Amino acid sequence: MYSTCKDDKGFAMYIDRQRSWFQHNSVHERRVEGGISTGSTIGVLLDLERHVLSFLVNEMPQGSVAFRDLYGVFYPAVSVNRGVTLTLHTALDAPQMDYRH
C-alpha cells in the first residue's frame, strides 16, 4: 500500500477534529489548531496558471497557499479514516484567492 506524501510526488493537507498541517516529501509543517466536524467542507484548489496548490475549510483558506512551483502531471486522491462519509464535487467555480502570502 502506498503512503501519501512520503516522496516528492505527494502533496497533502492532513486534518482531523483538532488540527491540520501540510505534508510533502515526508515533511509535515505549518501545523495549526482547529479542525473539522460533521458537515465541514474541504476545498482543494490546484491553480495550474499560478502553479500553486491551496486548501480551504468551510470556504476559508488554510494559510493561503500550501505549495508553490508545481509543474507536471497531477493525480488527485482522497484518503479518509474508517467510518467517514464524503461527497466529492468536481469542476466547481474557483474561489477568489490571495496569492501574495
pLDDT tens for 39-95 read: 999 999 999 999 999 998 988 888 779 999 999 998 888 888 888 888 888 888 888
What is this structure's pTM?
0.83
DSSP 3-state helix, strand, coil percentages of the chain (rounded to 5)? 0, 35, 65
- The domain limits of the chain are 1-93
Cell numbers linked to 19: 488540527
Number of neighbouring beta carbons within 10 Å of residue 11 = 19
Decide the pairing of beta strands 42-47 and 52-57.
antiparallel
Q: CB–CB of 30/46 below 8 Å?
A: no
Distance CA 62, CA 32 (A): 9
What is the model's pLDDT at position 1?
41
Q: Which amino acid is at 92?
A: L
Per the model's pLDDT, the better-predicted residue between 51 and 20 turns out to be: 51
